Structure 1
Amino acid sequence: MKRFYIIGFAILLGFDTLAQLSFKYAGDQALPVQANLAWLERVFTQPWVYGAVVGYIGAFFTWMTLLRRAPIGPAFAASHLEVVSVLLLSVPVFGESIGWSQALGAAAIVAGIFCLALSESEDEPG
């Protein structure tokens, strides 16, 4: 069962990260934002928009599958790991930098997920 969770959450993390990075890339390519048909055409001709759609659809189905078996507390917390993965990947992909507050926040997210996972494993019988 642990392998199911690890693989499932890795897939969920991949889909969520794909969606977020794709939206960012597509948004950067569609600038400047304008309320007209030309802007909508620029948005929907970006292949990254479709990467975002694939990411969200994949994440939805993966999440629904995980919720059938995973405890809701750790599952909900682990679903937020994409915040950390997007933060880390934004450095090489978009040339952004990570400040101490972002690093501290990412560490808090990971520590919280770890604590929830430990408490859940202690509650398991046997």
Structure 2
Amino acid sequence: MKTTLMILTVAFCNVLSQLVLKKGVISLGIDRVDLSYLPRVFTSPYVLAALTIQVFSYIVWLFVLAKANLGYAAGLSGALFYIILAMLGWMLFNERLTPLQWIGLALISSGVFCLVTRTI
């Protein structure tokens, strides 16, 4: 598998795991930090699914690190993660970002893109 495709896989797995985890927290009705929720959290199918996705992502990430420059891999994965997560959070959970937050997200992602681009 090509390195860039593996980086994309990691980014999408990380986004998916966060979305599944969010769904799990919503389904459990967790609205505050309270240790009494832990037994329910760790037996939630959503939380277990998110954990499984993260383990898969971690394994793929090990192969990425064996082949790619860390700055390139982490930068590209991170930029994609934030953009995709913000868009899907908006689409699936009706989470809103202000125009200024969208601009900030675009600027950060553009900066990361400049850092990971090999040629100018």
- TM-score, normalised to structure 1's length? 0.79
Deviation at 1:41, TM superposition (A): 4.2
Deviation by residue 1:39-96 (Cα, 9 ceiling, x = unmatched): 3343244321122102211221111111111112111211212122111101111011
Count of matched residue positions in the alignment of Structure 1 and Structure 2: 117
Do the aligned partners of residues 109 and 63 (structure 1) sit closer, same or farther apart at CA in structure 2, a change above 3 Å counting? farther
* Identity level (%): 26
Instruction: Determine whether 1:26 maps to 2:24.
Output: yes
1: CA distance between counterparts of 2:16 and 2:52?
8
- TM-score, normalised to structure 2's length? 0.82
Which of the two has higher C-alpha Rg? 1
Q: Which moved more, 1:66-75 or 1:26-35?
A: 26-35
Instruction: Determine whether 1:65 maps to 2:59.
Output: no
Q: Which has the higher contact order (CA 8 A, sep 6+)?
A: 2
Please name the residue that 1:13 is paired with.
11
Unaligned runs of 5+ in 2: none
2: CA distance between counterparts of 1:22 and 1:83?
16
Please name the residue that 1:82 is paired with.
81
Do the aligned partners of residues 28 and 73 (structure 1) sit closer, same or farther apart at CA in structure 2, a change above 3 Å counting? same
Unaligned runs of 5+ in 1: none
Please name the residue that 2:110 is paired with.
111
Do the aligned partners of residues 16 and 31 (structure 1) sit closer, same or farther apart at CA in structure 2, a change above 3 Å counting? same
Please name the residue that 1:101 is paired with.
100
SS in 1 for 2:67: coil
